[in-house]
Amino acid sequence: MANCTGECSSCSSNCGTRDKKSFIKPLHPEAQVRRVVAVASGKGGVGKSLVTALLAARAAKLGYRTAVLDADITGPSVPRMFGVHERAHGQENEIYPVYAANGIQMMSMNNLLEHEDDPVIWRGTLIAGAAVQFWTDVVWDDVDIMFIDMPPGTGDVPLSVFQSIPLSGVVIVTTPQDLVEMIVKKAVNMAKMMNVPLLGIAENMSYFACPGCGRKTELFGASKAGMLANEYRVPVARIPIQPEFSALADAGRMAEADTDALAELFRAVENSREIVKQQA
């Protein structure tokens, strides 16, 4: 354009020369994060927070300095799953993360509310802004892998996170119902449009294994894992229904949870690109 100044961040034009990285927000100057993996879905109720918690717990057990950014501003659940009830503290331009018993750093709207059951009654732009501030204003301490627990869908918060945070990749969470193909494609297509690598798919509630005989029953229909793996050429983790996961989450002890079903998918997380080494 004739009047182009080269400052894409302050320009509303959607021209062909726009810098695709111009919307990326910097970390706090004292923060360090190496990999950021979003855990997302095209719909709610599929278990994104559970998958986020399982991935974070596995990362911590393997010795990675791990963090969880809870971007589900109006429905935060991660701190309680890890038994974290304290409020975050900070000062004028910075907030310090809270820590789970196993050292996982986290920041969630529930860590800022006076009472955990206080509702957040905000409009979309405020909600999206708060999620991004958890990236820009929190002093994350030398994090190897950060997981972002996303709200469902492809609205304000997912768009802001995908635009503002330099993601190493995304893990899509789904369930075996027949609607899975459409739901997964919505989330995958959003990631593709935003140039975010698809690391893998987690099929939650994939089956129930009888504790006595080990027989697997697909309670919510036949697994789509094979179809998804063939179509997208990424690892697909079949996560079983395990009552102990619910018990651990209710007790605030998700740091103890693990499942071998995530092994291949987690290797993809480990091999994802490093996007931030250290801020100046």
Query: Which position has the token pair 């693990």?
Result: 258
Q: Is residue 10 part of a domain?
A: no
Computed over every residue of the chain, the mean pLDDT equals: 89
pLDDT value of residue 113: 93
pLDDT value of residue 1: 43
Token pair belonging to 32 = 């360090």
Provide the 8-state DSSP code for 24.
P
The letter for the amino acid at 108 is: S
Query: Which position has the token pair 């701190």?
Result: 79
Q: Is residue 83 part of a domain?
A: yes
| CATH at residue 218 | 3.40.50.300
Q: How far is CA 247 from CA 220, 242, 253, in A?
A: 21, 9, 8
Q: What pLDDT digit, counting tens, does each position of 222-261 carry?
A: 999 999 999 999 999 999 999 999 999 999 999 999 999 9
Token pair belonging to 76 = 């935060």
pLDDT value of residue 6: 42
Q: How confident is the model at residue 178 (pLDDT cuts 50, 70, 90)?
A: confident
Token pair belonging to 224 = 């789509």
pLDDT at 93 over 60: yes
Residue 55's domain comprises 24-270
Q: Is residue 106 part of a domain?
A: yes
Cα–Cα dist 254/149, whole Å: 15
Q: Is residue 19 part of a domain?
A: no
pLDDT at 116 over 80: yes
pLDDT at 157 over 70: yes
pLDDT value of residue 158: 93
| Other beta carbons within 10 Å of 27 | 21
Q: Is residue 147 part of a domain?
A: yes
Provide CB contacts within 8 A for 28, sequence distance 6+.
93, 94, 136, 137, 138, 139, 140, 279
> For residues 276 and 178, which has the higher predicted lDDT (pLDDT)?
178
Query: Which position has the token pair 């609205």?
Result: 155
Q: Structurally, how many domains does the chain consist of? A: 1
Q: Is residue 16 part of a domain?
A: no
Cα–Cα dist 129/161, whole Å: 9
Length reported for the chain: 280
| pTM of the complete model | 0.90
Cα–Cα dist 167/57, whole Å: 20
pLDDT at 280 over 70: no
Query: Which position has the token pair 């301490």?
Result: 141
Q: Is residue 225 part of a domain?
A: yes
pLDDT at 36 over 70: yes
Token pair belonging to 248 = 């651990």
- Phi, psi torsion values for 144, nearest 5 degrees: -80, -45
Q: How far is CA 4 from CA 22, 121, 126, in A?
A: 15, 40, 30
